[in-house]
Structure formats: C-alpha cells, structure tokens
Structure 1
Amino acid sequence: MAHLQPPMTMMDFFRKSEGIWFTQRAVHHFDLTADESGESNLFVTVIEKDDPRVEKVCAQQGIDPANATGGATFHWQPVLDFSEPNPNYAAVLIDIPNRDNNSRGKMIRDRGYVEGIPVVSRYDFAPDGVLTIETDYDNNQGQERCWFITDDFRVRVSNVRMMNGVNLIAYCSERRCVTPEMLAQMTQQNLARAF
C-alpha cells in the first residue's frame, strides 16, 4: 500500500480534491436552528490561472490576478440529484499563495459558505498536511480544517462563531465517488494481477 502524500499547497489540494465526493455531515447548532445534518454530493473542478473566472473573482476583491495560481469550482447537490446546480450552493475559489511560503496564503471566493458574499480567507497547511482555513465574515468568523486519510477519503471539521460565541460545529466525512473511467482502470489493474 502506497504511503499517502498529503497536499501542501492549495493548488495541490484542489487537484487532489478534483472529482465527485459523497459527503456525510453531522451539524450541531447551539441555538434553535433546524438540523442541517445529512448527505450530499460535492463536485470539485480545478481551474487554471488563465481561466476568466480567476480575473473576475480577483476583481471583486481588488486583488491583482497576476498573484493567483489558479483555483477550483465547488458545488453541492443532494445525493442522486442530477438537476442543474443551484447557484446558492456553488462557489469559485482562487488561490493567492504567500510569495515566501506557498503552504499558506489567501483563498478568495465569489461567495462564502456562511454568508453568501465574496470573502477572503487565510489558509495554512501544517507539516502533517492538515489544512486550516480562517474566514472573517461581516457577522461571523469561521474556521475549517480538512485532511486526507487516504487519496479517496478525507475529513472536514468546522465551526462558526457569532459575535455572542460559537453558533455551530460540523463534522464531514467525504469519500470519492468512483467514475466509470476509474472503475475501468481498477478492473484492468485487477485483471493484470490475476495473470
């Protein structure tokens, strides 16, 4: 079994995350908000730095797109929902790494997870590959940590702090969905081992 090589830059993280993920999430609210626990599919697509969306999202935040290394698009849908994606459950994320240390930097988004407004987050990869993302919204602060257990299984934990304290804590486990191409490749590898 190959040893996991965790991503240590945001673009490596986006590339390792590309594909469709089955997400199971448990959410604990500290107020009377409805339970948001459940299952969904997360779709991740890498975009390169010459993609027009990079310049568009950078312009929203007044950031020079020359500092961007690329990004990714994310969208969430209920499991087995094949309808057109809901833009309220989608985001474009752009990587702006620090010049002296590309394991940390800023990630800019056209819309945040907690408040649907353009936001700038700070990120940092620990030496063991755990990614920490800190985001300041108008009325909230969010922190998310994410790490790969294997190439096809990862974990995310997050919390949102309102001005009066912690509002919610969430735990997500995510498994990569197998595409027909991946299945064909695995079949060929298993057939090769049999002979």
Structure 2
Amino acid sequence: MDIVNFFETLAGKWFSQRTTHDLAGQSSQAGQSNLQIDFLPASDGDLAETCASLGHDLSQVACGLRVHQDSQIDGQTQKTQGTALMIVLTPTDAGEGVLVQATGSSARQGRYRIEDEVLTITTPTETGQVEERLWFINPNLRMRTSVVKVGDTEQIASFCSEIRMGVSKPAT
C-alpha cells in the first residue's frame, strides 16, 4: 500500500480510546476522542497555502488530511478541541518521505515510512523525538501507539484503539 492509499483509508469519523503511561512518574491516564478525518488531494488549497508558507515545493505534495479532534481525559471536566493539517510530501523510491503537521501558526516536520502496512511517523522535538505507529486490524478498526523520547530515554508511551463510526451494517 502506498502513502496516498493509506491516507485515503484514514478518512472518516473515528472513536478513539487511549491509555497514556508516564514512564518516569509511573502513572497512567485514560481518555477518549472523537476524530473527523478528511482526506485532502494534492491540489487542496489549504495544503498549498501551508506548504508555501513553510517553503516546501508544491509539486512535492502527495496528499493530506484535515483532522478535527474533540478529546476528553478521564477525571477532567474540560474537553480539548483542535484541528490540524497533515501534509504528505512525495516519498522517495525507498517509500520514505516528509510529513508536515500544522496546527494554527505552528508546524512540525517529521519523516514517515510504510513497512508491512504499518505507518511509522518520527517527529523530532526540542528535546528528543516522538515515534508514532498506526496500522489496521480491519477496515474499521485501527491501532496506534506512540512513544515520546527525551534524549534516548522513553518518557511517555500511549496506545489507542480506534473504531470507525457510522459504518452501515452488512446486509443479511
């Protein structure tokens, strides 16, 4: 599966159940999110505008996603809401490429690759990196893990199971 096909399969409305573990503090936290993910073709104006503002060659845009998130962490009363753009630049022959994640006026640039139908995104941070992996169990169930490293030390690990919502029941 190539990156454009993989991103097309991400489109839809998803319910995410997440557990995050702070390895240093030895604490865990659960939460839920509703995600609306829209696939954006390479010709999308928002992708072009964001790439131009960051100095990326528009001819290198492969596709993108607009992700609307509405999240609730267990034990907290305030929800978190936000929208982000994910922009995939054309991969190399080895199947790797640049992924830009933009929210509001900030943007982070990382690398992606697909191996054995698992998408891995590695994004540098000021103090380390975030590595996220995403794969499908079936078309309506996907898994996602992430690990936040500070230096070479893993600080935070999370696991999400995500179910596609609004899928019609098969005819009997």
Q: TM class by shorter-chain length? A: 0.7 to 0.9
Paired with 1:132 and 1:148, the residues of 2 have a C-alpha distance of 13
Residue 77 of structure 2 corresponds to none
- Match of 1:23, as an amino acid? S
Percentage identity across aligned positions? Answer: 28
Paired with 2:53 and 2:128, the residues of 1 have a C-alpha distance of 20
Q: Where do 1:148-187 residues align within 5 Å? A: 148-163=136-151, 165-178=153-166, 182-183=167-168, 186=169
Q: Where do 1:123-162 residues align within 5 Å? A: 123-126=112-115, 128-162=116-150
CA contact (8 A) 1:72 1:92 kept: yes
Residue 90 of structure 2 corresponds to 97
CA contact (8 A) 1:60 1:118 kept: no
Q: How large is the RMSD of aligned CA atoms in angstroms?
A: 2.4
Q: Where do 1:1-195 residues align within 5 Å? A: 8-32=1-25, 36-78=29-71, 86=81, 89-101=82-94, 103-111=95-103, 117-126=106-115, 128-163=116-151, 165-178=153-166, 182-183=167-168, 186=169, 189-190=171-172
- Match of 1:78, as an amino acid? S
Q: Which runs of 5+ in 1 are unaligned?
A: 1-7, 80-84, 191-195
Higher strand share: 2
CA contact (8 A) 1:14 1:72 kept: yes
The count of corresponding residues between Structure 1 and Structure 2 is 165
Could you report, residue by residue, the CA deviation over 1:9-39 in whole angstroms, capped at 9, with x for unpaired residues?
A: 2221221011111101110013459854211
